[in-house]
Structure 1
Amino acid sequence: MRATRGNMFFHHEPAGEPVLDPVSGEMVEKTVFVVFFSGEQAKAKILKICDSFEANCYPVPEDINKQRQITREVLSRLSELETTLNAGIHHRNQALSSIGCQLWRWTMMVKKEKSVYDTLNKLNFDVTKKCLVGEGWCPAFAKPQIKDALQRATIDSNSQLGIIFHVMEATESPPTYFRTNRFTHAFQEIVDAYGVARYQEANPSVYSVVTFPFLFAVMFGDWGHGICLLLAALFLIIRERKLGSQKLDSFMEMAFGGRYVILLMALFSIYCGLIYNEFFSVPFHIFGPSAYKCRDLSCSDAHTAGLIKYRQPYKFGVDPSWRGSRSELPFLNSLKMKMSILFGVTQMNLGIILSYFDAKFHGNSVDIRYQFVPQMIFLNCLFGYLALLIVVKWCTGSKADLYHVMIYMFLSPTENLGDNQLFWGQKILQILLLLMAIVAVPWMLFPKPFILRKLHMERFQGRTYGILRTSDADLDVELESAQNHHNDFNFSEIFVHQMIHSIEFVLGAVSNTASYLRLWALSLAHSELSTVFFEKILLLAWGYNSIVIRLVGLAVFAFATAFILLMMETLSAFLHALRLHWVEFMNKFYHGDGYKFKPFSFSSLANEEE
């Protein structure tokens, strides 16, 4: 405007969508403008300004016919370009559609080729024999298969050199491999989540197949809820092939992977539910009539009248007459609490016994004498004795207070037991067990570090005697090697480690036993929560004559049962059973500091690609 002093007419409009710049390759905003002017001098100024801003100039003739011709030519070129672009897009889509079904196979072929060359790059080339030498791990049962595969490769490749398969002695610890199937895979994954076993270490999965779902069922015992879990597990197992080929969400994938774990949890829940005699918190006379009746003849109020026994005990599980009586909660509290302690002491003893077999397998007599033996003594002199008292009290029907017995066993072991005496010689036995437990602590703490130090010094001296018999040329090398070997043993570090291990076991014996009381707490909570839903929702709604209220109550009861009892409570009991195995059971014998065996496999590449 200033260059022409206002002697021009200017009009502009945005070009619309962003346009690809062929120079920079970026999408840019374009603006179309037209300038009307008069005179050659103004034209020169306008062209110079447009050139400075890198604008594209298109001359427009003054003749109207030529303008229309240019317009027709531009429209024709645009139509041809659009037709060409559409044809190119159509051809590209057809080409991609034709190769789309082959893309996964091509991708897998490339991955296999890359993995083969990556494995070949790990081999060493022997210059003298002009062959490749490779070292790797394989399961012992796979050695014949590997030899057959190498022979077939020799024949197929028409190689003039035979392939030698030689078993070597390895200095480093081998990887760990456990053969699993569809049933045991989920249990092995539960254990591996804590830590992969060392090579030739005892595998807790063998025992967890039974103990894990059983401890879950102790907390989740209701055979109505167990049947619901069983139906869900059977659905996943029946549709196993179809669901296994589909891509599932995270929750369904977790449930499908643990389908056999859920199956066993459901079966054990039905079993424990029959023992507790609970079907959605409702008792049934499944195994015959009750052994109790109300104290008064009218039996109008069992909550206040109480019960009296008039026939043989109920054949299996809890008598249904206990439900709703004033003795129900004290009886179930006592039963489940003592049962939890018995289960806990039994499983912890199993863990310590497995540490014995593990040490015996590896020929470690020091761990057997100075770790396994004092641990068994300490645990069973205290909590094994408590389990014995529980069994004796159940068998004799004694009214002894076990809390008082265990507390005064430490505070006043020589005091007369009085009414809390369950058998003859109990006081003498308690004093003897207490002394044995006290002796077990230093037995566990001191001997092992000093014995290891003595064994190390003997080996070092033996190595020194061997050095005195070597030649002068090798003397310096042997002395340096012996000195480095001697410096590897750190007595203070081993002593501190043993002290921490001993203190952890002594304190853990108390805390781990108390931790098993979660079996009692969660079982009682599950039962009471189920009772609340049944009585305060379903029965309350069923007391009205309105069909709408009954349907609403039934829907709320079904929703609460499905989402709270069958989902949240299931997950809660699962996590608590997981903690009992990881902390209370497996830390008695399981190190879990190994690494997994990962074989070269094309199927694993396919799974990763999927």
Structure 2
Amino acid sequence: MHNSQKVSGRLLELKTTLDAGLLHRNNLLNTIGAQFEQWDVLVRKEKSIHHTLNMLSLDVTKKCLVAEGWSPVFATKQIQEALQRAALDSNSQVNAIFQVLQTRELPPTYFRTNKFTSSFQGIIDSYGVAKYQEANPTVYTVVTFPFLFAVMFGDWGHGICLLLAALYFIIREKKLSSQKLDDITEMTFGGRYVILLMAIFSIYTGFIYNEFFSVPFAIFAPSAYDCRDLSCRDATTVGLIKVRDTYPFGVDPVWHGTRSELPFLNSLKMKMSILLGVAQMNLGIVMSYFNAIFFRNSVNVWFQFIPQMIFLNSLFGYLSLLIIVKWATGSQADLYHILIYMFLSPTDDLGENQLFAGQKNLQLVLLLLAVISVPWMLLPKPFILKKQHEARHGVESYAPLQSTDESLQVESNHDSHGHEEFEFSEVFVHQLIHTIEFVLGAVSNTASYLRLWALSLAHSELSSVFYEKVLMMAWGYNNVIILIVGLIVFIFATVGVLLVMETLSAFLHALRLHWVEFQNKFYEGDGYKFHPFSFSWLDDEE
């Protein structure tokens, strides 16, 4: 009995000790828990500072540390002020010395963006970061990207739905930016200003196509046409007669639902796609001119920019001119027949396909220019680069080069280091590939812009199928339940297919037109981004 009391007392003693220990541990953990996150962030900051300080090197005298790094020119004053502030705060006897170093190394690329332009810059950077001081396509992409999207997504009803979605993200910007969002929402939130512009442009093109969920409205004026008799009521344009002035803005509402609608809109959208494509490709080639001028590369101006402009415009610039002349004169000429026979039999008479006087002679001149521009692109450049290389190395054997711009005179893969062998065959093959790519690309890239017409047609047809075969059919039953079911199906089909899938599809096609058709004319995108040291990175990586 005495032993069992002893054991019980010992157990009670141990239990009291354990309880006291657990209580103390809980109190301690609660105290630490409140401050753990702050401590964790502080330790991470300390570690990141030490990691950066480890990159510094000791001076020859072993008395001071030397750091080399890139900084934007506009930030020089801020850096000097920060260094002075640091010296004061640490009661240092010696001030930090800030000095600009001369280097032959290619600097990183840094574009100052705001919350509006950063998502557009992100679209371009996904393709490749611009080389230092190379022309930045984002400046044009801010307008051309949402516009080309809207050409494929022209419906002002769907545009308003997109606009409301974009405005929701913009109005709740502060709240959403501080929250942890799922991947899809975060992606949509990041591109809210892109979506905003896409929606605004879609409303504009929707007014041009005169489509509101595929229904036409006579918003700007009554239709220019009226029925001559009852024969035109059965959805044909036979019997329509023009009674008023032409509809002032966009497509006349009377065309919708007629037999002539598809041939008319197809012809309009197809020709419009070619005009937009040729204009954007010309912009791309003009950008290559400004790049060449900036980098003082006269070889690229004379043997790349000029022949490329001549080749593209003597064929597809001419086609664009024919389209405009045909629209202006109302001619019935077959433009594609003209363009094909311009190659196959250039000396034949045009007959009823003649749009203006002297057309045949102009075609012969343009064809000749296009043929001349191919060897002009291909042959002189490699020989001139070889000559430049020899001249430079002739000087180099007597005296070191004074120019700091040497690496910019010749393309980077053509002996930018000054001492490498000049491989003429390699340069020639590179130029041959470049020329073939441009010549074939001129044809395939122009054809590629026809996706604007194809996607616009698909969007319009899908929209009208959902309206007529779902909503109108349900309305025709005169039954409330069927109407409600029809309305629900219509809403889900519109949101799921037209507002989500079609938006994504048109977005990707607009992306392709910028990355491939526009940027391949001038954008090398082989630079690297400027990444300043920042504590905001600590969340992403160690």
* Alpha-carbon shift at residue 464 of structure 1 (Å): 2.7
- The corresponding residue for 2:248 is 315
Write the letter of the residue equivalent to 1:488. E
- The corresponding residue for 1:551 is 484
Whether the aligned pair in 2 keeps the contact of 1:352 and 1:376 (CA below 8 Å) is yes
What is the CA deviation profile of residues 131-167 of structure 1, one whole-angstrom value per residue up to 9, with x for unaligned ones? 1111110001000111111112222222222322111
Q: Is 1:405 equivalent to 2:405 in the alignment?
A: no
Match of 2:229 among 292, 296, 300: 296
* Alpha-carbon shift at residue 306 of structure 1 (Å): 5.2
- The corresponding residue for 2:329 is 396
Match of 2:461 among 501, 504, 528: 528
- The corresponding residue for 1:459 is 392
Q: Structure 2 CA distance, aligned partners of 1:86 and 1:129?
A: 57
Q: Structure 2 CA distance, aligned partners of 1:135 and 1:245?
A: 35
- The corresponding residue for 1:251 is 184
- The corresponding residue for 2:378 is 445
* Alpha-carbon shift at residue 92 of structure 1 (Å): 3.4
Match of 1:161 among 94, 116, 125: 94
Q: Is 1:431 equivalent to 2:364 in the alignment?
A: yes
Q: Is 1:170 equivalent to 2:103 in the alignment?
A: yes
Q: Structure 2 CA distance, aligned partners of 1:261 and 1:369?
A: 37
- The corresponding residue for 1:597 is 530
SS at match of 1:305: coil
What is the CA deviation profile of residues 71-93 of structure 1, one whole-angstrom value per residue up to 9, with x for unaligned ones? x8777777766665555445434
Percent identity between matched residues is 70
Q: Which runs of 5+ in 1 are unaligned?
A: 1-64, 468-481
Given the superposition, is the C-alpha separation of residues 113 and 223 from structure 1 closer, same or farther in structure 2, using an over 3 Å criterion?
same
Match of 2:260 among 314, 327, 350: 327
Greater gyration radius: 1
Considering Cα pairs closer than 8 Å and 6+ residues apart, tell me whether 1 or 2 has the greater RCO: 2
Whether the aligned pair in 1 keeps the contact of 2:223 and 2:254 (CA below 8 Å) is yes
Match of 1:276 among 185, 192, 209: 209
Q: Structure 2 CA distance, aligned partners of 1:397 and 1:245?
A: 58
Given the superposition, is the C-alpha separation of residues 197 and 155 from structure 1 closer, same or farther in structure 2, using an over 3 Å criterion?
same
Whether the aligned pair in 2 keeps the contact of 1:296 and 1:305 (CA below 8 Å) is no
Given the superposition, is the C-alpha separation of residues 79 and 191 from structure 1 closer, same or farther in structure 2, using an over 3 Å criterion?
farther
What is the CA deviation profile of residues 265-317 of structure 1, one whole-angstrom value per residue up to 9, with x for unaligned ones? 00000000000000000000100100112342464313363533222110100
Given the superposition, is the C-alpha separation of residues 295 and 138 from structure 1 closer, same or farther in structure 2, using an over 3 Å criterion?
same
Whether the aligned pair in 1 keeps the contact of 2:232 and 2:240 (CA below 8 Å) is no
Match of 1:380 among 309, 313, 318: 313
- The corresponding residue for 2:406 is none
- The corresponding residue for 1:470 is none
Q: Structure 1 CA distance, aligned partners of 2:381 and 2:518?
A: 23
Write the letter of the residue equivalent to 1:101. A
Given the superposition, is the C-alpha separation of residues 597 and 485 from structure 1 closer, same or farther in structure 2, using an over 3 Å criterion?
closer
Write the letter of the residue equivalent to 2:464. T
Q: Is 1:132 equivalent to 2:47 in the alignment?
A: no
Q: Structure 2 CA distance, aligned partners of 1:597 and 1:464?
A: 36
Given the superposition, is the C-alpha separation of residues 120 and 412 from structure 1 closer, same or farther in structure 2, using an over 3 Å criterion?
same
Whether the aligned pair in 2 keeps the contact of 1:108 and 1:606 (CA below 8 Å) is no
- The corresponding residue for 2:404 is none
* Alpha-carbon shift at residue 416 of structure 1 (Å): 0.5
- The corresponding residue for 1:263 is 196
Whether the aligned pair in 1 keeps the contact of 2:237 and 2:260 (CA below 8 Å) is no
Given the superposition, is the C-alpha separation of residues 290 and 82 from structure 1 closer, same or farther in structure 2, using an over 3 Å criterion?
farther
Q: Is 1:206 equivalent to 2:206 in the alignment?
A: no
- The corresponding residue for 1:537 is 470
What is the CA deviation profile of residues 328-369 of structure 1, one whole-angstrom value per residue up to 9, with x for unaligned ones? 010000000000000000000000000000110111000000
Given the superposition, is the C-alpha separation of residues 293 and 91 from structure 1 closer, same or farther in structure 2, using an over 3 Å criterion?
farther
SS at match of 1:596: coil
- Which is further off, 159-168 or 568-577? 159-168
Whether the aligned pair in 2 keeps the contact of 1:306 and 1:327 (CA below 8 Å) is no
* Alpha-carbon shift at residue 111 of structure 1 (Å): 1.4
SS at match of 2:211: coil
What are the equivalent positions in structure 2 for 1:564-583 lying under 5 Å apart? Answer: 564-583=497-516
CA root-mean-square deviation: 2.0
Q: Structure 2 CA distance, aligned partners of 1:74 and 1:219?
A: 87
What is the CA deviation profile of residues 171-203 of structure 1, one whole-angstrom value per residue up to 9, with x for unaligned ones? 110000001100001000000000000000111
Whether the aligned pair in 1 keeps the contact of 2:333 and 2:355 (CA below 8 Å) is yes
Q: Structure 2 CA distance, aligned partners of 1:77 and 1:505?
A: 92
What is the CA deviation profile of residues 537-582 of structure 1, one whole-angstrom value per residue up to 9, with x for unaligned ones? 0000011121110000000000000111000000000000000000
Write the letter of the residue equivalent to 2:200. L
What is the CA deviation profile of residues 353-394 of structure 1, one whole-angstrom value per residue up to 9, with x for unaligned ones? 000001101110000000001100100011111111101100
What is the CA deviation profile of residues 387-446 of structure 1, one whole-angstrom value per residue up to 9, with x for unaligned ones? 111011001100000110010000000010000010111111111101101111111011
Whether the aligned pair in 1 keeps the contact of 2:154 and 2:456 (CA below 8 Å) is yes
Q: Structure 2 CA distance, aligned partners of 1:428 and 1:173?
A: 50
Given the superposition, is the C-alpha separation of residues 87 and 271 from structure 1 closer, same or farther in structure 2, using an over 3 Å criterion?
farther
Q: Structure 2 CA distance, aligned partners of 1:328 and 1:75?
A: 98
* Alpha-carbon shift at residue 326 of structure 1 (Å): 1.2
Write the letter of the residue equivalent to 2:126. A
Given the superposition, is the C-alpha separation of residues 466 and 175 from structure 1 closer, same or farther in structure 2, using an over 3 Å criterion?
closer
- The corresponding residue for 1:179 is 112
What is the CA deviation profile of residues 75-131 of structure 1, one whole-angstrom value per residue up to 9, with x for unaligned ones? 777776666555544543443333223222111111111111112111111132711
- The corresponding residue for 1:584 is 517
Whether the aligned pair in 1 keeps the contact of 2:232 and 2:239 (CA below 8 Å) is no
Given the superposition, is the C-alpha separation of residues 529 and 464 from structure 1 closer, same or farther in structure 2, using an over 3 Å criterion?
same
Match of 2:32 among 99, 103, 107: 99
Given the superposition, is the C-alpha separation of residues 163 and 335 from structure 1 closer, same or farther in structure 2, using an over 3 Å criterion?
same
Write the letter of the residue equivalent to 2:305. F
Whether the aligned pair in 1 keeps the contact of 2:163 and 2:199 (CA below 8 Å) is yes
SS at match of 1:308: strand
Write the letter of the residue equivalent to 1:380. N
Q: Structure 1 CA distance, aligned partners of 2:377 and 2:13?
A: 92
Given the superposition, is the C-alpha separation of residues 170 and 486 from structure 1 closer, same or farther in structure 2, using an over 3 Å criterion?
closer
- The corresponding residue for 1:7 is none
Q: Structure 2 CA distance, aligned partners of 1:305 and 1:499?
A: 56
Given the superposition, is the C-alpha separation of residues 566 and 80 from structure 1 closer, same or farther in structure 2, using an over 3 Å criterion?
farther
Write the letter of the residue equivalent to 1:501. H
SS at match of 1:560: helix
Q: Structure 1 CA distance, aligned partners of 2:284 and 2:237?
A: 46
Q: Is 1:495 equivalent to 2:399 in the alignment?
A: no
Whether the aligned pair in 1 keeps the contact of 2:231 and 2:238 (CA below 8 Å) is no
What are the equivalent positions in structure 2 for 1:342-381 lying under 5 Å apart? Answer: 342-381=275-314
What's the TM-score once normalised by structure 1's chain length?
0.83
Q: Structure 2 CA distance, aligned partners of 1:564 and 1:77?
A: 75
SS at match of 1:293: strand
Given the superposition, is the C-alpha separation of residues 548 and 486 from structure 1 closer, same or farther in structure 2, using an over 3 Å criterion?
same
- Runs of at least 4 residues off by over 6 Å: 72-80
Whether the aligned pair in 2 keeps the contact of 1:299 and 1:305 (CA below 8 Å) is yes
- The corresponding residue for 1:56 is none
What is the CA deviation profile of residues 446-466 of structure 1, one whole-angstrom value per residue up to 9, with x for unaligned ones? 110100000111111122344
* Alpha-carbon shift at residue 169 of structure 1 (Å): 1.1
- The corresponding residue for 1:54 is none
Whether the aligned pair in 2 keeps the contact of 1:306 and 1:326 (CA below 8 Å) is no
What is the CA deviation profile of residues 479-514 of structure 1, one whole-angstrom value per residue up to 9, with x for unaligned ones? xxx9x9554321111111111111111111111100
What's the TM-score once normalised by structure 2's chain length?
0.93
